[in-house]
Amino acid sequence: MTGNPVEAINLRRLFGDFIAVDNINLSVRQGEVFGFLGPNGAGKTTTVKMLCGLLLPSSGSATVAGFDIATQPDDVKRSIGYMSQKFSLYSDLTVSENIDFFGNIYGIANSRLTSRKREIIRLTGLEGRENTITSALSVGWKQRLALGCSVIHEPKILFLDEPTAGVDPDSRRMFWDLIYNLAQKGMTMFVTTHYMDEAENCTRLGFIYNGKMVASGTPLEIKRTRMKGTIIELDTDAPSEALGILRDMPVTNEVSFFGRLIHAVTMAAPEAVPRTVDSITLSLKQHGIPVNRITTIPPSLEDIFISLIQQEDSREPS
């Protein structure tokens, strides 16, 4: 196979007048964990559906595993695995029966299925649960089984659509171990998520917003290149009042809550940042707002994400 496992050029999809996906360019490299990020309704699912050969693009083109998604959807489907955010295995079948079923559907004859099933059970850690009815499994185990079923045919690329939505943190970590495990064996992972901590763990990222790709690259690249300005983190006991005051100050733009803390972005030159911090502290003190802690911090992906969305929103006149 030559070229990247996923390659999209000017991929576009309309639903009536609505542009769900707007000229997206994408390339995912062999064996990497590609994180596809964006808020709900940004066009993530539509893009994934096109790449899986379920939806035709309105214009543009893409190849997945070297096959054209528009003209060779069957070859695409044979080469990929797909795991949806909604559990979509048969809950009234046992673990083993689900694996058998999807194995057969992917054309694995029973002679080979036995050994393949054993590998899947070992990979997902489902030993001893083979004869459990799937509905009796916890959410975390169900997701592992779903992943197991979607790689039964050893696909070159695995698409995971918000695989850990609603899963407890422990199970999420175990699940990501599984993802890395498969990636190390050379399987390319295409993961959509809105958990930022998960995004930090991806090899490379793509940010999609309003159907457009607004940033892409490794997490480090994105942090280095896409963050304009410096982030000042503020810890105060009166965050709401502080937020209002900071928003009125000319030295700060993009002021937002970050959990219980406040993040303010300043466009001041690096050498002028300490002075800005001082002026903020002073201003807050004048208003009688106690400052527990104020400091500059390296941007997190969430900061960048919010910043990119705000930039995008201010650019659109509509």
Partner 1 sequence: MTSWQLFLLRVKAIARKEFIQLRRDPRMLFIAFMAPIIQLTLFGYAATLDVKSVPVVVCDMDQSMQSRAVLNAVTSSGYFDIESRVPSVRDVRRSIDDGDAMVGIVIPDGLERDINAGKKAHIQTIIDGSNAIYATMVRSYLERIITNRALDLSAVEMSRNGYKPYTPLDIQQRVWYNPTLKSRDFMVPGVFALVLMIISTVLTSMAIVKEKERGTIEQLIVTPIKPLELIAGKLLPFAIISLIDITLVTMVAVFWFRIPLHGSFALLFLLSALFMLTTLGLGLLISTVSRTQQQAMMISLLLIMPIILLSGVMSPIENMPIGVQYFTLLIPLRYFIVIVRSIFMKGSGMSILWPDALALAAFGIVLFLLSVSRFNKRIG
The answer to whether the CB of 276 falls within 8 A of the CB of 251 is: yes
Please tell me the count of residues contacting partner 1 according to CB under 8 A. 28
| 110: Cα within 13 Å, side-chain hemisphere | 2
- Which of residues 14 and 133 has its CB atom nearest to partner 1 in the complex? 133
Does the protein bind partner 1 through residue 165 (CB under 8 A)? Answer: no
- Which of residues 24 and 149 has its CB atom nearest to partner 1 in the complex? 149
Residues 6+ positions from 272 with CB-CB distance below 8 Å: none
What is d(CA 68, CA 106) in angstroms, rounded to the nearest whole number? 20
Does the protein bind partner 1 through residue 82 (CB under 8 A)? Answer: yes
Q: Which stretch binds partner 1 (CB under 8 A): 90-98, 190-198, 212-220, 225-233?
A: 90-98
Does the protein bind partner 1 through residue 87 (CB under 8 A)? Answer: yes
Does the protein bind partner 1 through residue 101 (CB under 8 A)? Answer: yes
Residues linked to residue 189 through DSSP beta bridges, in sequence order: 33, 158
* CA dihedral sign of residues 55, 59, 63, 67: positive
What is the separation of C-alpha 175 from the centre of its chain, rounded to a whole number of angstroms?
14
Given candidates 12, 19, 90, 200, which one binds partner 1 under the rule CB under 8 A?
90
* CA dihedral sign of residues 5, 8, 42, 219: positive
Closest CA to 236 of 190, 288, 309: 288
Given candidates 36, 67, 106, 305, which one binds partner 1 under the rule CB under 8 A?
106
Does the protein bind partner 1 through residue 54 (CB under 8 A)? Answer: yes
The answer to whether the CB of 206 falls within 8 A of the CB of 216 is: yes
Given candidates 2, 17, 86, 318, which one binds partner 1 under the rule CB under 8 A?
86
The answer to whether the CB of 228 falls within 8 A of the CB of 267 is: yes
How near is the Cβ of 182 to partner 1 at its closest, in Å?
17
Does the protein bind partner 1 through residue 59 (CB under 8 A)? Answer: no
Does the protein bind partner 1 through residue 50 (CB under 8 A)? Answer: no
- Which of residues 148 and 229 has its CB atom nearest to partner 1 in the complex? 148
How near is the Cβ of 213 to partner 1 at its closest, in Å?
23
Given candidates 2, 16, 18, 109, which one binds partner 1 under the rule CB under 8 A?
109
